[in-house]
A and B are shown apart, each in its own frame.
Chain A
Amino acid sequence: MLDMQNVTKTFGSFTALDNLTMTVPQGTVYGLVGPNGAGKSTAIRLLTGVYRPDSGRITLEGLPVYENPVIKQRICCIPDEIFYFPSASLEEMRRFYKGIYPRFDDQLFERLYDVFQLPKKSQIRRFSKGMQKQAAFHLSICTRPDVLVLDEPVDGLDPVMRRQVWSLILSDVAQRGTTVLISSHNLRELEDICDHVGIMDHGKMLLQRSLADMQGNTHKLQLVGEVPEGLEVLHQSDSGRLKTLIVRGSVDRISTAVSAVKPAYFDILPLSLEEIFIYELGGVNYEVKNIVL
């Protein structure tokens, strides 16, 4: 379990993470979502031991991550902005990673050439952005990590390669129980692969739970009639007599409350992750209207 307890991180007078608590259960695929500037990348740098927290604890299976090579060799990270040694080829990077990560799997590396089909000897910096991303996956997966941390992992990859990469990751999760933390803005994609989700804003964790719980706890309610009291309404819009509400709570609870006021019509619909994201953040002054000029 990758755990972050009450972590605060400041950059000068700016507080990037404010008492953040996040728990990534072992063997899960955890989606970390949040608006730009929410602190996702900072959280990832702290989780991978790059930054030192001002306060709080970051542990993997109870052991601190920061400046702990034993733990860090079990974590591999593909950052948003990948950086290789200038003029390094994939083969040179393999040798480097092999010297750094004791569990580096040479055989897997050879096999993955068939998947990614990247040139061995060319300089990586001459690769396209998508190819550089593939090279990062190629290298990272071969380190045989227990925790794979990915920041916007499939940006720049074509749809086929996206599917290929997700497939690789999920098969690794299935075979080795790898824990995967993904930070992404592509919520539709996350919805397909994540089993846990955390929503961050302004350096804080607004919400974190399993996707099933999250989707079972927030619903879209359409009704014609009076809105019952006692519902936790995140958002409401009216179209003629038809009212559409985003309501927090289980289907049973909502259904009971609505039935009590006897509306002319009502229906309870599941929400997508993207809708949950939008409406949850709407409650903390990050509504869609704010970003539409």
Chain B
Amino acid sequence: MKLRTSYFNRTVFKKNFLRFAPVWSLYTVFLLLIFSVLMDTEPARVGNDLADLMGAMAWLNLLYGGLCANVLFGDLFNPRMCNALHALPMRREDWFLTHIATGMLFSFVPNLLGTAVLFVMLDKYYYLALLWLAIMTLQYLFFFGIGTLSVMCGGSRLAMAAVYFIINFISLLVYVLADQFYEPLLYGIRIDSPAYEFFCPTLQAAQEYVNFYYDKILGGVFQGLYWDSWYYLFAIAALGVIALVGAVLLYRRRRLECAGDFLALRPLEPVFLIIFTLGVSVALYAFTQLFGLSGSYPFMVIGIVAGFFAGKMLLERTVKVFRLKTFIGFIIFTVVLIGSLVLTKLDPLGITWYVPETDEIEFMRFYRDNDNYIYNDPVDENRAVYQLESVQQIDRFRQIHSKLQADRDHTDGEICQVEVMYQLKNGSTVMRYYNADVHSAVFEDLQSYFSTPEYIFCTDDADTYIQSIRHIELDLSYNFYHLDNSGNIISLENPEDIQALMQAILKDCQAGIMAQDYTFHPNEDIHLWVFFDAAAPQKYGNIGIIETGRSYRDLTVFSGCENTLAFVESYLQSHGFVS
């Protein structure tokens, strides 16, 4: 007798739906509750809110996808149930595909119902409802796929949950680990968060998918798709399918006697132990930060001890893990970890000493990155930027860069923080971050850069900018000791006066004393604020420039800026502002 080959069992399918009705019912009710909150007489407003909600649903699907996988395949974690069910005349593929079909419908059916409701609510924007269904299904496919794969790796519900969250947030763990424990040992190098965010599917799936903006005043709707989010969504959905394929392969090989063990796959045990141990270290560190405690390395040590032995207890399901073999494992782990930290500090590859060769560099920029910076630069929010393109300029700065690398013992006190960016000809970017001691020689070199007119006016063409200045205001209210402290603001509109003042400022720039940062003027008082109104186009200009053709800059003049102050004093006297 030959059975028809079908990998779907209707009885199990129906049983799943009935048995886990509370799960999908709750999800359905939750969806309907959300939609009831969105309800509005104006369909565009519903669309507006719905567009915002689509990404956020990734967090719900993260929980729901994992939960569905956990409950549907949860019988694998119970030895008695597992044995009883697998004695029935069904292949594992039958069980698997029937559960997968049910699981997918656990999301699709409630969302289909939700889509029908949204159709009514959205009226002519009904296509948003279809987008909703597509996004929810694809998000869920990923999370359910990863959840199912986690089930096949785990031997218990707790392990499944642990594996599931490790897979979803491993990049976050790696980032925090690198950021907290390794980055401080790599002088000048910072680990950027975008890299970990890219590899964190939950964060990426929680991005916006639809740009649907309802302008109440204009009464119009602006709409479009964020294609990057969609590409990522398709990619993770494909990953979900791959995870399901991986899961069925693991299921076919699964030893059912592992039901009740922590992990189903023994080779995963050391991997889990390492990740768990590091995770506990990171969690402990983050937890202590909440209470304002500092010192990451002591907490790392405590976390390693606690994490390693707690992980071992979980794996072996006993507290009796304090054996010689375990201690040997712990020592090996600790030695490897500390060794990696020491290696990072020693930097045998010379990563922290690396400066790109001049002929490799397309251009370079450097920034001041400090709260001491005086004004809010419109170019890049709170900081000014300086770009070098010529070979001579770049070559000169490379020498300063080498000095910055050598002067690496200054981490606090009077320091000046500098960011350096090299855009290489091969398309890659090198970023470095340094602290320069304000009393060091390299600081003086930097000061000359930060005093250049290009830097203080945030322009790549200072001459054009200076020529285009139409109007200058001198604010005398700030402790200008030569004058009456009258608080007056004096306008300069005569082009000759303007250019004369600018020449005085340029002299101070050349003297390297015009840097717009309190760090560079530790013992000097502020004597004058100068406001410029210029019409020059700015390479790094803000939106205001584009719209008005004008830009506004302000400049703080310190008591050391002798040329500028001398001009101002003579100007005030010649124009009768002071006696």
Contact = CB atoms under 8 A, between A and B. Distances in A.
Interface of A: 11, 45, 48-52, 67, 69-73, 75, 77, 79, 81-83, 85, 95-96, 98-101
A83 B84 contact: yes
A69 B11 contact: no
Contact of B255 (A51, A71, A79, A101): A51
Contacts of A51: 255-257
Given A67-B92, A100-B9, A50 B86 contact: yes
A51 B83 CA distance: 8
A77 B88 CA distance: 9
B328 interface: no
> What 7 pairs across the A-B complex have the smallest Cβ distances?
A99-B11, A73-B89, A72-B89, A83-B80, A69-B89, A48-B87, A83-B84
Contacts of A77: 87
Given A77-B87, A96-B11, A69 B3 contact: yes
B425 interface: no
Interface in B72-99: 78, 80-81, 83-84, 86-92, 94
Contacts of B15: 85, 96
Given A51-B255, A51-B257, A45 B83 contact: yes
Contacts of B12: 99-100
A49 B256 contact: no
Contacts of A48: 87
A50 B9 contact: no
B539 interface: no
Nearest to A72: B89
A49 B86 contact: yes
A69 B87 CA distance: 10
A81 B80 contact: yes
A144 to B, nearest CB: 13
Nearest to B88: A100
6 contacts: A51-B257, A83-B84, A99-B10, A99-B11, A100-B9, A100-B88
B84 A79 contact: yes
Contacts of B88: 72, 100
Contact of A69 (B19, B91, B255): B91
B84 A99 contact: no
Given A11-B257, A50-B256, A51-B257, A101 B89 contact: yes
A72 B87 contact: yes
Given A99-B9, A100-B11, 20 more contacts: A11-B257, A49-B87, A50-B83, A50-B86, A52-B255, A70-B2, A70-B89, A71-B89, A72-B88, A72-B89, A81-B80, A83-B78, A83-B81, A96-B11, A98-B11, A99-B10, A99-B12, A99-B14, A100-B9, A100-B90
B290 interface: no
Nearest to A54: B255
B1 interface: yes
A72 B92 CA distance: 13
A83 to B, nearest CB: 4
Contact of B80 (A49, A79, A101): A79
A85 to B, nearest CB: 6
Nearest to A80: B80
B330 to A, nearest CB: 22
Given A50-B256, A85-B19, A67 B83 contact: no
A50 B259 CA distance: 12
A116 B98 CA distance: 33
Interface string B1-21: 111000001111011000100
Residue among B3, B84, B89 facing the most chain A CB atoms (10 A cut-off): B89
Nearest to B84: A83
Main secondary structure of the interface of B (DSSP, over half): helix
A85 B71 CA distance: 13
A252 to B, nearest CB: 46
Nearest to B10: A99
B317 to A, nearest CB: 13
Interface of B: 1-3, 9-12, 14-15, 19, 78, 80-81, 83-84, 86-92, 94, 255-257
Contacts of A72: 87-90
B23 to A, nearest CB: 14
Nearest to A77: B87
Nearest to A86: B19
A193 to B, nearest CB: 23
Nearest to B92: A67
A250 to B, nearest CB: 41
B91 A67 contact: yes
Contacts of A101: 89
A9 to B, nearest CB: 9
Nearest to A16: B257
Nearest to B13: A99
A98 B81 CA distance: 19
Nearest to A47: B87
A278 B203 CA distance: 66
A79 B83 CA distance: 9
Nearest to B257: A11
Contacts of B1: 70
B2 A79 contact: no
A77 B10 CA distance: 22
A24 B84 CA distance: 22
B84 A100 contact: no
Nearest to A95: B11
Given A52-B255, A79-B83, A99-B9, A70 B3 contact: yes
A273 B83 CA distance: 30
Given A51-B255, A99-B9, A100-B11, A79 B87 contact: yes
A87 to B, nearest CB: 8
A237 B11 CA distance: 61
Nearest to B254: A52
Contacts of B14: 99
A75 B88 CA distance: 9
A198 B84 CA distance: 24
Contacts of B91: 67, 69
A69 B78 CA distance: 22
A52 B257 CA distance: 10
A67 B88 CA distance: 10
Contacts of B256: 50-51
Contacts of A99: 9-12, 14
A100 B89 contact: yes
A177 B452 CA distance: 103
Q: Indicate the member of A45, A48, A77, A83 with the most B CB atoms within 10 Å.
A: A83
A71 B91 CA distance: 11
B21 to A, nearest CB: 11
Contacts of B9: 99-100
Nearest to B85: A83
Given A83-B78, A85-B19, A100-B89, A69 B83 contact: no
- Which of B94, B255, B256 has most A Cβ within 10 Å? B255
Contacts of A81: 80
A100 B89 CA distance: 7
Nearest to B2: A70
A8 to B, nearest CB: 14
